[in-house]
Amino acid sequence: MARGSAVAWAALGPLLWGCALGLQGGMLYPQESPSRECKELDGLWSFRADFSDNRRRGFEEQWYRRPLWESGPTVDMPVPSSFNDISQDWRLRHFVGWVWYEREVILPERWTQDLRTRVVLRIGSAHSYAIVVSAARSRQGGWGGTAAEQHGTSSCHPRHWVNGVDTLEHEGGYLPFEADISNLVQVGPLPSRLRITIAINNTLTPTTLPPGTIQYLTDTSKYPKGYFVQNTYFDFFNYAGLQRSVLLYTTPTTYIDDITVTTSVEQDSGLVNYQISVKGSNLFKLEVRLLDAENKVVANGTGTQGQLKVPGVSLWWPYLMHERPAYLYSLEVQLTAQTSLGPVSDFYTLPVGIRTVAVTKSQFLINGKPFYFHGVNKHEDADIRGKGFDWPLLVKDFNLLRWLGANAFRTSHYPYAEEVMQMCDRYGIVVIDECPGVGLALPQFFNNVSLHHHMQVMEEVVRRDKNHPAVVMWSVANEPASHLESAGYYLKMVIAHTKSLDPSRPVTFVSNSNYAADKGAPYVDVICLNSYYSWYHDYGHLELIQLQLATQFENWYKKYQKPIIQSEYGAETIAGFHQDPPLMFTEEYQKSLLEQYHLGLDQKRRKYVVGELIWNFADFMTEQSPTRVLGNKKGIFTRQRQPKSAAFLLRERYWKIANETRYPHSVAKSQCLENSLFT
Ligand code: GCB
C-alpha cells in the first residue's frame, strides 16, 4: 500500500470486497423484522462439568442422548455467564475440560409447520471449543434427531460424528456461530420441543487462539497420577462457558444472508457501497432504501450491489469530535423471491455510518481530519459473571467512557460482544478491533496449523464486525514474540489476509518488542506500542519515564515512518492505598506515572503519535500468581467501576485534548448529563 499521502481505504472497498471470505455464509446480527422472529434462550440452563479423570465420560456415556438430569446430577447455570465464579465449588472455578449445558425449548407451531420458514440456532460465543447437539421431540413422546459420538480428550478435537446433520462444532471463543436446524424441527411427526445440548471445552493448546499448553506433572512425590495444569501466556483469567446470548431465530427459506457496506465521501455527498448475498433461490428481487435518522428516505437502489449517493451527508463522527457525533443511517433491505412453495419476502435493516478512514505517515484521519485516540483498553470482566455479557455493566461502562472523555478503546484481547460494538456505533466510540491473538509467546505457536486457524478467526472477526463504522482498525495480535523470524512470516501472512478481507481499514498488531528486532512491524499500517516504564523495570524511578518514552518514540518513528499509538501504559494500584511521596501500588504512584507519560506523549502528540490508551479501564481477574493481588489492578476504575484518583486525572486530560482537537472548533459537550467539568 502506498504510504506518504493519505490512503483512503474506503475508496478501494467496493472494488476489492470481491476477495470473498472462505467462510460459508454471513453472520448478520439476528433481528426481528416483518419476516424474522427471535427467541432468546438466555436464563437458566442445566449444567454439569465432566470431572472424570479423562474428561470423556460425557461422550462415553452419551449424555446428549437423553435429558442431562437422567445421566447424573445437574446444577443451574445462568446464560450468559462464565461458569467459573458462579458456584462455591473451587474445582469448577479452575476446571479444564468439557462442560455440558442443556436447555429445552418449546417451539412456536408455525416454526415447525411452515416449510417456508428457516429456523436457526445461534450461539453468541462459547469459549473455547463447542459441540452442539440438538434433538427434537414429537408430541407423541420420544426424542428423535441427532446423536454424536465424540471422544473428548484434554485436547479439544472431536474425532467423528454419527448423524451429524443437525449438530454443529465451532473452534474458538468470542465469536458467534450458528446452524440451520429447520431439517431437525420440520420433519417427521410434528415436534413441539427442542432439546439443545452444548458441550464446551476450555482447554487451550498450541493451536488454539489464544494458545496454551497442558503440562502433566509426573513427579509422584508431589502430584497425584494424571495431574495436569493449563498454562496460559496471557494476563487475564481464562473464563469460559456460554458467555454471550444463545437464541433461535427465523428467516424465510430464501433470505438475506449477508450485507457488506463500505462508505466514502465526495464533496458534500456520502457514498454507500453495498453488496448483498441471498441464499435459497436465484429468482429474487432486492430493493434497498437508505433512511436518515428522521426516517426520511435519502437514497434507494435495487439489486445485489450498488452505490447509494447521499447529498448533504451527515457523517459519522467520533464522540467529542463533532457537534453531532455518531450519526447513523438505516439501510433497509427488502427481498422478494419466488420459491416452489410460493412467494416469500425477507427484510433486514442495517445501521450505516458514513465515514472514511485513512492513514498518512504521521496521522490517523477520520473523515479527512486528524484523529487522536484518547481512550482505554478494556476487558470483558466483572464480579460473578466473569466474561458473561451483562446489559447493566455495558451501559455503566459506556457512561464511564463518556464521563472520562474517552473517544476510543481497543478490544483487548479478543472481540467483544456484538452489543458492545453496536453501542460504539451509537455513541461514537472508536474501536481498534482485536482478535484473540494473545499469548503467542512461544516459538512453537507460530506453526502452520495455528496460522491457518488465525486466518480463519480473522475471517470470522471481519465477517461479524465489517459494517460497524466505529471499527477503524483491525488488530491481529497482542504482544506476539515478534522478534522471531517465524513470527515475522506468520504476522505478514495474517496481516495480508486481513487486508484482503477488508481493504477499507488499516491493520495493526500490538508490539512490545524492540524496534530494531521486530519482524512484524514492516507489515502494519500503524505502530502500536506497549511499554511499562517505571513499572516492570526501573520501578519507582518515575523520573526516567520521559527520557525512555522519547527514546521509544524516536527509534520507532525513525525506522518505520508510521503513526504510533501508545497502546498500553499504566501502573498497578490498589484502590485506597495512599503514600506521598508516591510508592508503587498507591493511587499517588499511578497518578504520577500517568503524569510523566502524559508529558512524554505531549512532546510527540502533534508530530506522529496519534493516540494513547491507558491500561486498563478497570481492574480485572487474572490467574493467581505472586504478582497479582486478586487480579490485575491497573484499572483507573476498580472492578466494581468506582474511580481511583487516576480516573479524575485522565478525565481532565481527555476533555482538554477533546477541546483542542474538535471539528468545528467549539467547546466539547459531554453527552453525559452529569458531566459539568468543561461544559
Ligand atoms: C501487557 C499485556 C496485558 C497485561 C499488561 C500488564 O503488556 O498486553 O495483557 O495485562 O501488560 O498489566 O502486565
Checking if the pLDDT of 678 tops 80, the result is no
pTM of the model: 0.94
Task: Write phi, then psi, for 595 (nearest 5 degrees).
Answer: -60, -40
Average pLDDT rounded to a whole number, residues 267-291 = 97
Angle at 614 between CA 625 and CA 528, to 5 degrees: 95
Residue 295's identity, in one-letter code, is: N
Residue recorded with cell 497425584: 224
Q: What is the pLDDT of residues 143-194, one digit of tens each?
A: 665 433 332 333 333 322 223 334 789 999 999 999 999 988 887 666 678 8
Angle at 216 between CA 214 and CA 220, to 5 degrees: 165
Q: What is the pLDDT of residues 129-150, one digit of tens each?
A: 999 887 776 666 666 654 333 3
Q: What is the mean pLDDT of the chain?
A: 91
For ligand 1, mutation pick of 413, 533, 568 (most atoms within 8 Å of CB): 568
Q: What is the pLDDT of residues 505-545, one digit of tens each?
A: 999 999 999 999 999 999 999 999 999 999 999 999 999 99
pLDDT at residue 326 in the model: 98
pLDDT at residue 155 in the model: 35
- Say how many CA atoms lie within 13 Å of 501 toward its Cβ: 26
Ligand 1 center to 434 CA (angstroms)? 14
Residue closest via CA to ligand 1's atom 7 equals 530
Nearest by Cα to 96 from 171, 151, 32, 153: 153
pLDDT at residue 186 in the model: 87
Residue closest via CA to ligand 1's atom 10 equals 235
Average pLDDT rounded to a whole number, residues 47-59 = 96
Ligand 1 center to 418 CA (angstroms)? 24
pLDDT at residue 154 in the model: 34
Pairing outcome for strands 246-252 and 117-123: antiparallel
Pairing outcome for strands 430-434 and 471-478: parallel
pLDDT at residue 173 in the model: 95
**Nearest atom in ligand 1 to 479's CA:** 8
Residue 181's identity, in one-letter code, is: I
Tell me the three cell numbers of residue 429. 466510540
Checking if the pLDDT of 349 tops 50, the result is yes
Mean pLDDT is lowest, of 38-52, 160-174, 436-450, for 160-174
660 is catalytic: no
pLDDT at residue 23 in the model: 82
Which residues lie with the beta carbon below 6 Å from any ligand 1 atom?
A: 234-235, 413, 478-479, 512, 530, 568, 615, 632, 634
In 3-state terms, what secondary structure has residue 499? helix
**Do 229 and 215 touch, CB atoms closer than 8 A?**
yes
Give the integer Cα–Cα distance in Å for 302 and 307. 10
